[in-house]
Amino acid sequence: MKTTVLKKLTALFSCVLLLVGCDNNNDINTLNAYPALGVCNFETPQNNQIISNTNDIVISGWAFNKNTNSTSDSIVLYLANEETNKLTAIKTTSGMVREDVAKVFSNNKLTQSGFSATITKGELTAGSYQIVLLQADKSFIMVRCDGEKHNIIIQQ
């Protein structure tokens, strides 16, 4: 029981660090300052997909830290409005089962690398957004994903 409570507190503290870490500057440059040691894939929505903000938006995929070859305790998505530079933080549900990812990377530690987040309808204003994924592990080391930018376009 103590182990379960400790794991939950660690995940909660990691999430708080991720959410507070960029809140002060509210700037995409702050996010880009984190090391790009994460591997991730956004499965929904597709890159550059046009989405109406009259419905909830689900963002899902998988992520892990390539430096430690392990999944994260906490993942937060930041949506950066490319016109205003305003950041919107979205907490994810992480640790979702992704046996396909573990199989592709031949690493059973990646079985729980899936994540999902829901943005409530109307939460984002119209515009183009870059999605940045930050993840933290048990050591509170925060990394962002490497690779290409993932963008969505929100319409009213």
Closest CA to 128 of 48, 26, 61: 48
Report the CATH number at residue 130: 2.60.40.650
- Amino acid type, 60: S
- pLDDT at residue 18 in the model: 47
- pLDDT at residue 17 in the model: 44
- pLDDT at residue 31 in the model: 86
Given a cut of 50, the residues of the chain with pLDDT beneath it are 2-25
- pLDDT at residue 52 in the model: 93
Q: What is the mean pLDDT of the chain?
A: 85
Host domain of residue 129: 2-155
- pLDDT at residue 94 in the model: 94
* Cβ count near 57 (within 10 Å): 21
Q: What distance, in Å, lies between the first and last C-alpha atoms of the chain?
A: 47
How far is it, in rounded angstroms, from Cα 103 to Cα 105? 6
What's the domain count of the chain? 1
- pLDDT at residue 26 in the model: 61
Prediction pTM value: 0.81
Torsion angle of the four alpha carbons 52, 149, 22, 128, in this order, in degrees rounded to the nearest 10: -30
